[in-house]
Amino acid sequence: MNIEKNIKELIVKKPLKLDCGKTIKDYPIAYETYGTLNQNKDNAILVFHALTGDQFVTGLNPITNKDGWWSYAVGPNKAIDTNKYFVICSNVIGGCMGSYGPSHKNPNTKKAFGTNFPVITINDMVNAQFNLLDFFGIDKLFSIAGGSMGGMQVLQFISNFPDKSRTVIPIATTSSHSAQNIAFNELGRQAITADSNWKDGNYSSNNTNPGKGLAVARMAAHITYLSKKGLQEKFGRKLQEREDLKFGFDADFQIESYLRYQGSVFVDRFDANSYLYITRAMDYFDLAKQFKGNLSNAFKTTKAKFFIISFTSDWLYPTQENKDIVIALNSIGADVGFVEIKSDKGHDSFLLDVPDFLNALKNFLDKSYKKIIYEK
């Protein structure tokens, strides 16, 4: 399959000064859209993807031939109903699905940037994506939504552009990456850079691929997306296609086989250097720090309506971290709703078929949209 053919691309001419001090310009942002932008241009929702997501939110991802990462939530008659709303999603800069990232060729050396690509932040990501509003001629979005790192982008976006969205939906996220989360990300990065095929990030010009390291990074991260209870119920101590233990280091247990599989399929679709860059961006995220330690000040000027959602079994971005955002918003009298959804599916709950979550999301969006139409 021709990758380029299936990727829509916006070349951003306007220079963007990154947090690291470097400036980029004429860089590509790969995006996808679902549904139709109406005449008033008031039905657009900008969706932000998580660490390993991409612009292919729903339907068949033309690159991987698998369902889009938010297929349960986005589509015709779904929670984010593409019969009603115009959904835009773009690959983050630093990513590997067409947006400007470390696998792009450095025009000076004609080789992939690798680790010469500038370190990017969540702030840089949303500033780059903001160009999509101009591109589509949208003055104000109806909503911005995203889970995990997507939620961080949601928070950063409304802080940077307080009057550019009517509603704001951060899901299973945090305003400041915790030590535990930085630790897990560092584990993943160490696994990649310890792979001798990584070659200081220059694996493409060396015709190698640090697949083993990237797979280990994915396996470790994947555990953090699930809950102990969920894992126990799904796998327990079940053995993998065998009657008894084999007294070796092959995958005896189903959970081992499952993780190995998750690692191996991930390597086929994801770039190791992008994994380094994007996890770094998450680690650097601390919205309160941008406002001298006062998170409320990040939202001081916005009139947007917030709806924050967390999950009971999410220990990666636990309810308390989501609630801290609610508290910051309440302390300045912002319009904020909050619900913690009961689910055993861990952090991944926001990507899965969790009816209470999907219903809450749908109800919030549809009722808010109705109100906006009525007020007009």
| Beta-carbon contacts of residue 108 (< 8 Å; ≥ 6 apart) | none
Q: Is 368 in the site for another protein (CB under 8 A)?
A: yes
Instruction: Record the tokens describing residue 117, joined without a space.
Output: 């690509």
347 is catalytic: yes
Span 256-315, contacts to another protein by CB under 8 A = 305
Q: Is 71 in the site for another protein (CB under 8 A)?
A: no
Our CB check for another protein shows the closer of 30 and 329 to be 329
CB of residue 367 to another protein, shortest distance in Å: 3
| Beta-carbon contacts of residue 298 (< 8 Å; ≥ 6 apart) | 155, 159, 175, 287, 288, 290, 291, 328
Q: Is 67 in the site for another protein (CB under 8 A)?
A: no
Q: Is 327 in the site for another protein (CB under 8 A)?
A: yes
Our CB check for another protein shows the closer of 265 and 372 to be 372
* Helix, coil or strand: residue 176: strand
104 is catalytic: no
Identify the residue among 139, 261, 359, 373 touching another protein (CB under 8 A).
Answer: 359
Our CB check for another protein shows the closer of 226 and 336 to be 336
Distance CA 311, CA 305 (A): 20
Range list of β-strands (E), 134-199:
141-147, 165-171
Q: Is 174 in the site for another protein (CB under 8 A)?
A: no
| Catalytic-role residue among 124, 271, 314, 348 | 314
348 is catalytic: no
Distance CA 371, CA 376 (A): 9
Q: Is 49 in the site for another protein (CB under 8 A)?
A: no
Q: Is 339 in the site for another protein (CB under 8 A)?
A: yes
Instruction: Record the tokens describing residue 87, joined without a space.
Output: 């959904």
| Catalytic-role residue among 347, 348, 349, 368 | 347
Contacts 24+ apart (CB under 8 A), 195-202: 195/272, 198/272, 200/114, 200/115, 201/102, 201/114, 201/115, 201/116, 201/273, 201/276, 202/111, 202/112, 202/114
Chain residues that interact with another protein, rule: CB under 8 A = 305, 326-327, 330-333, 335-342, 356, 359-360, 363-364, 367-368, 370-371
Active site residues: 148, 314, 347
